[in-house]
Structure 1
Amino acid sequence: MKINLERLEKNLKELSLFGRKEDGGIDRSLGNEAEEEARSWLLEKALDMGAAIKIDAMANIWINWKTNNSDNKPITLGSHHDAVSDGGMYDGALGVLMGLEIMQTLKENQVPLEHPLQVVSFTAEEPNPFQISTMGSRGVTGKLTLEKLQASRHLITGESLGTAIKRAGGNIQGLLKAQVGKKDMAAFIECHIEQGRNLFDNKLSAGTVTKITGIYREFVTVKGEANHAGTTRMEYRHDAFLAAAQAALVVEETAKALKRRDVVATVGWVEVNPNSANIISGNTKFIMELRFPGEMVKQQMLQRIEKDFLKIENNRGISFQREIILDQAPAPMDEGIMKIIGDEISKEQTPLSLAAEESSGLEFINHVPMLVSMAGHDAVHMSGITRTGMIFVQSIEGKSHCREEKTDGKDIEIAGNALLNAVLRLDKELTNENLN
């Protein structure tokens, strides 16, 4: 039994038309017309399959198929259907459509499952104008308050989040009733493109995820002294922008010094005030982000940053004001599900030689790469309520969040068949309580 790759690729292409721009990029963010059209298309696909549909308070789409009268909790597959501005056609969409393809394959082959099979497309996983990412999965796992949702407004139009969610079929007032917990789900697996080069560089189609990175962000305000750029001698300057630039290099060097694949650091947003050619900046703001595998590594990085920031303050006569805006711990994946996914990948994928494995710098178990996800996913939040796993599919040249994003059909097929068989094994092993 195999997935129907031709059908899956056709569905990927059809979904990619919603929000497609002339230059090839896709813009499908919560609240825009393309995102709403994509929702309608997904609902039609599910209805055509004869599946039952539920839209919860967060406008997450749940597609259900029950093969018997068992009261077992469902096995859930899925991801998200929204896309970043100028993004590609695989990020998120592949996980949702892969789930639907597996459901349809099992239905066509009349395979009786002991657990209901469920596919979910989460609302607003990506950063969006309402400034709440992984919104759907955070909402239903109890990580968002009604107050926060009610206060959120679209950055450009000013529309309330509640209005956008209602238009998508949800109702944020029902947030508490929509929340799911351990009693509601037997397992969750998310299929996603890797968004990195590990699989591509090693000519591998798929790998299993051991954990999802921790993410730490600070909003940093640098207070200096604004003054005339032409008349203020260099020794009398307290330039907030140059202090911020020096701090950004500290952040970069802190990550590079660790020489680890699973550590990165970025300053990706900067606001310079007054941002004028003839005025020394008196106030500059930036966001610092660290991604890390564990708390000890995070603390090691922060200690060095603290020490070097203090030097900048003393040398330049400026001050840093730091506010933590995100401190998300790493999310380990379930070991039993990891093993099942890894076993099934090994049956589908041609292994590397032992020498190639050793030179890759990756960890391998049974010739399958064990990968740390350096991007955040809905699976982070699902891991707090149920057994959770992820399967990564190769991204060509590691590209993602851009119009050049591409994943080859042969890699999708290998990952899809591995996931199909992982679902069948999981269905039996959960029933027989053999999953360690």
Structure 2
Amino acid sequence: MSDTLRRADGARVLADLNALRAFGTYKTGVHRPTFSEAHRQSLDWLAARLPDAQLTPEIDGIGNVLGISAKPGPKLLAGSHLESQNYAGWLDGPLGVIYALEAARVLNPDPSIAGAVEVASWCDEEGHFGAFLGSRSYVGDVSEADIDAARDRSSPRTMREALAEMGLAGRPRLHAERGRHIGYLEAHIEQGDTLEKGELKVGVVTSIVGIWQYRIIFTGEQNHAGTTRMAVRKDAGLALARFCVDIDARFPSACGPRTVWTTGRITLDPGAPSIIPGQAEMLFQIRDDNAAVIDRLEALLREMAAQATAAGPCQVAVERIRTGAPAMMDSRFQDAIEAASSALAGGKSLRMPSGAGHDAQVLATIMPAGMLFVPSIGGVSHHWTENTSDADIVTGADVFVETCRRLLAGA
């Protein structure tokens, strides 16, 4: 096994990322929702390039693309996702897929390197039909009933209909072969400003937050907005607003140092200016890398709902609709990323948690996993202005390739 440092072909990495940018271009970003025509084009584009890395492409029945190696020796799985949020950024997901492809192109043909990098593009990490759908399917956490029930969050289309439109209906899903991989490595833009503010080049991810999401329903009484006295109203919208204020007042006493919570959507029914809303609903999310903290905050949330119901005049119900457990990244992977950063990024790295969810936390349930971040300009993501400098993209690619080499060498 050669211990010579390996680097990416930076120009090739940038060209590939810009080629993907053409599928669903929106301003300087992309609009490439899961199972859209632009998404299909990006999957076909990737599959056509995997043979360049001595990989056989397979697109499975849920939309995952995997590049499979026949090379003897240990296998390292690497990748991310190719779909985007609606009208969002060009690097969220594709950066990790192209880094994985580049590592495979550099390392797999090298006879001095035992083993190979296998590439994965996981379907629907962004959650158009279900968060981490592809990676969860790969680890055995998605049933046929789950697929039957899945719906596009932005249209009436079912997942079965979408799969048929993609030509994937009836195609088998690929599942992890236990023991095949020494682990999983993913690269991603930071989606925050910690690296940029610190003039750092690489984030060595230590943990990934758990994400718990709730539907909170307020039931009052629909009535006329002009003739119903204020004293007798059961205004579900007002009850929701007061509850939001109460959350911000009470959560700080129970949260952890990095806990965040968000009310991402509010709906009022019937939603007319002359009608007191009889029902209101909010989608609420808690994130932390400590499951005990999330448990504590959920208990507080339910206590607050019970107290609000008792005080009246509206009923408040809390329904948990999504859970994602926090995940710790493997220490050996962290060490390999840090060593590669010392060699190729001037040691400008930082061990840090991830405040966003990633496929790596799903893969971490069945194999060692690691993640590296590159800086996000202005900390912007999930927006079409999302960007990273070319220099930082190339440095990150160098570090990723060398990290893969080190992990294969130590297998």
The TM-score with structure 2 as length reference comes to: 0.92
Name the counterpart of 2:3: none
Superposition pairs of residues 132-147 of structure 1, within 5 angstroms: 132-147=130-145
* CA distance, structure 1, for counterparts of residue 108 and residue 211 of structure 2: 39
Name the counterpart of 1:282: 278
2:266 to 227, 249, 270: 270
Instruction: Spell out, residue by residue over 1:330-369, the C-alpha distance to the aligned partner (whole angstroms, 9 max, x if none).
Output: 01111111121122223333457xxxxxxxxxxxxxxx42
Any conservation in 2 of the 1:58–1:140 contact (CA below 8 Å)?
Answer: no
Shift of 1:313: 2.8
2:228 pairs with 1:232: yes
Secondary structure, counterpart of 1:63 in structure 2: strand
Shift of 1:30: 1.9
Name the counterpart of 1:184: 180
2:189 to 162, 170, 193: 193
* CA distance, structure 2, for counterparts of residue 328 and residue 371 of structure 1: 19
Name the counterpart of 1:371: 352
Shift of 1:55: 1.9
Between the two proteins, the alignment pairs up a number of residues equal to 406
Q: Residue type of the partner of 1:334?
A: D
* CA distance, structure 1, for counterparts of residue 29 and residue 340 of structure 2: 34
Name the counterpart of 2:363: 382
Instruction: Spell out, residue by residue over 1:292-324, the C-alpha distance to the aligned partner (whole angstroms, 9 max, x if none).
Output: 121221133233333433443344411111211
* CA distance, structure 2, for counterparts of residue 184 and residue 159 of structure 1: 36
| Alpha carbons of structure 1 residues 96 and 305: separation in structure 2 relative to 1, 3 Å | same
* CA distance, structure 1, for counterparts of residue 54 and residue 302 of structure 2: 57
* CA distance, structure 1, for counterparts of residue 123 and residue 321 of structure 2: 22
Superposition pairs of residues 335-374 of structure 1, within 5 angstroms: 335-350=331-346, 368-374=349-355
Instruction: Spell out, residue by residue over 1:40-97, the C-alpha distance to the aligned partner (whole angstroms, 9 max, x if none).
Output: 2112222344532122232211113454x34x4x101100011111111100000000
1:306 to 302, 305, 309: 302
Name the counterpart of 2:89: 88
Name the counterpart of 2:123: 123
2:150 to 149, 152, 172: 152
Any conservation in 2 of the 1:207–1:345 contact (CA below 8 Å)?
Answer: no
Shift of 1:104: 1.7
Any conservation in 1 of the 2:225–2:275 contact (CA below 8 Å)?
Answer: yes
2:326 pairs with 1:322: no
2:2 pairs with 1:4: no
Q: Residue type of the partner of 2:126?
A: E
Unaligned stretches of 5+ residues in structure 1: 353-367, 431-436
| Alpha carbons of structure 1 residues 163 and 114: separation in structure 2 relative to 1, 3 Å | farther
Name the counterpart of 1:334: 330
Secondary structure, counterpart of 1:275 in structure 2: coil
Shift of 1:257: 4.7
Shift of 1:256: 4.4
Any conservation in 2 of the 1:262–1:372 contact (CA below 8 Å)?
Answer: no
* CA distance, structure 2, for counterparts of residue 83 and residue 38 of structure 1: 11
* CA distance, structure 2, for counterparts of residue 301 and residue 160 of structure 1: 33
Q: Residue type of the partner of 2:79?
A: G
Superposition pairs of residues 4-153 of structure 1, within 5 angstroms: 4-21=9-26, 23-67=27-71, 69-70=72-73, 72=74, 74-107=75-108, 110-128=110-128, 131-153=129-151
Shift of 1:242: 1.1
Any conservation in 2 of the 1:146–1:172 contact (CA below 8 Å)?
Answer: no
1:161 to 147, 159, 162: 159
Any conservation in 2 of the 1:226–1:282 contact (CA below 8 Å)?
Answer: yes
| Alpha carbons of structure 1 residues 169 and 427: separation in structure 2 relative to 1, 3 Å | farther
The TM-score with structure 1 as length reference comes to: 0.87
2:205 pairs with 1:206: no
Shift of 1:232: 2.2
Shift of 1:18: 0.4
Shift of 1:258: 5.8
* CA distance, structure 2, for counterparts of residue 44 and residue 266 of structure 1: 40
2:393 pairs with 1:420: no
Any conservation in 2 of the 1:251–1:265 contact (CA below 8 Å)?
Answer: no
Name the counterpart of 1:359: none
Shift of 1:155: 5.5
Name the counterpart of 1:391: 372
* CA distance, structure 2, for counterparts of residue 160 and residue 244 of structure 1: 31
| Alpha carbons of structure 1 residues 258 and 194: separation in structure 2 relative to 1, 3 Å | farther
* CA distance, structure 1, for counterparts of residue 154 and residue 336 of structure 2: 45
Secondary structure, counterpart of 1:87 in structure 2: coil
Secondary structure, counterpart of 2:87 in structure 1: strand
Shift of 1:163: 4.1
Single out whichever of 304-313 and 384-393 deviates more from structure 2: 304-313
Unaligned stretches of 5+ residues in structure 2: 1-5
Single out whichever of 147-156 and 369-378 deviates more from structure 2: 147-156
Secondary structure, counterpart of 1:187 in structure 2: strand
Superposition pairs of residues 395-406 of structure 1, within 5 angstroms: 395-406=376-387
Any conservation in 1 of the 2:108–2:115 contact (CA below 8 Å)?
Answer: no
Single out whichever of 304-313 and 285-294 deviates more from structure 2: 304-313
* CA distance, structure 1, for counterparts of residue 190 and residue 360 of structure 2: 14
Q: Residue type of the partner of 2:89?
A: G
- Paired-residue identity, %: 27
Secondary structure, counterpart of 2:179 in structure 1: helix
Any conservation in 2 of the 1:252–1:266 contact (CA below 8 Å)?
Answer: no
2:211 pairs with 1:215: yes
Any conservation in 2 of the 1:181–1:386 contact (CA below 8 Å)?
Answer: no
Any conservation in 2 of the 1:220–1:288 contact (CA below 8 Å)?
Answer: yes
Single out whichever of 416-425 and 156-165 deviates more from structure 2: 156-165
| Alpha carbons of structure 1 residues 351 and 336: separation in structure 2 relative to 1, 3 Å | closer
Name the counterpart of 1:361: none
